[in-house]
């Protein structure tokens, strides 16, 4: 049996472009999948047009899947995860993860306040591992209940 796929997640927050890129490079991310419903930001370098420009120059492919995986859904995101549109987006994400090291991105640094946590749950159900990148020194492996991992969750 093959090795389990791992999908990473990250929230851009107010990080500098350099700090954000360093985190992606540290985890050898090849494809950044933007799961923001509306790919814009108060921070210029996290707007769609800028991401499409500077990430490839840094050797990272940029893909927007906010149409299928973006938050702010009528009826709540958890119920949205049962929709065909979500399932289609999740399938696309898993297919990308089979070929490349993938990280999904939204705004919130902490996954507990972001719809990435629901995407992570569904990825686990498909047999993928999920790692939330929090900072230079902190990551959370979803489903890991070891004390060191739980300490990271208390952000």
**Is there a domain that residue 49 lies in?**
yes
Domain that holds residue 79: 6-153
Count of structural domains within the chain: 1
Angle formed by the axes of helices 116-125 and 84-99, to 10°? Answer: 70
**Is there a domain that residue 16 lies in?**
yes
Express each pLDDT in 46-65 by its tens digit: 999 999 999 999 999 999 99
**Cβ contact 62:35 at 8 Å:** no
**Is there a domain that residue 119 lies in?**
yes
* CATH, residue 47: 3.40.1010.10
**Is there a domain that residue 105 lies in?**
yes
**Is there a domain that residue 82 lies in?**
yes
Q: What is each CA distance from 122 to 41, 43, 46, 147, 148, in whole angstroms? A: 26, 29, 26, 24, 24
**Is there a domain that residue 1 lies in?**
no
Express each pLDDT in 4-54 by its tens digit: 899 999 999 999 999 999 999 999 999 999 999 999 999 999 999 999 999
**Global pTM?**
0.90
């Amino acid at each position: 049996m093959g090795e389990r796929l791992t999908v990473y997640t990250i929230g851009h927050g107010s990080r500098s472009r350099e700090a954000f890129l360093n985190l992606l490079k540290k985890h050898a991310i090849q494809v950044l999948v933007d799961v923001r419903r509306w790919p814009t930001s108060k921070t210029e370098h996290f707007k769609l047009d800028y991401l499409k420009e500077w990430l490839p120059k840094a050797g990272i492919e940029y893909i927007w899947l906010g149409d299928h995986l973006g938050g702010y859904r009528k009826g709540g995101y958890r119920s949205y995860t049962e929709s065909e549109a979500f399932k289609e987006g999740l399938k696309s994400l898993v297919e990308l993860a089979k070929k490349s090291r993938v990280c999904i991105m939204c705004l919130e640094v902490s996954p507990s306040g972001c719809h990435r946590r629901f995407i992570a749950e569904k990825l686990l159900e498909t047999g993928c591992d999920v790692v939330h990148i929090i900072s230079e020194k902190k990551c959370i492996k979803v489903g890991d209940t070891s004390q060191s991992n739980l300490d990271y969750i208390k952000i």
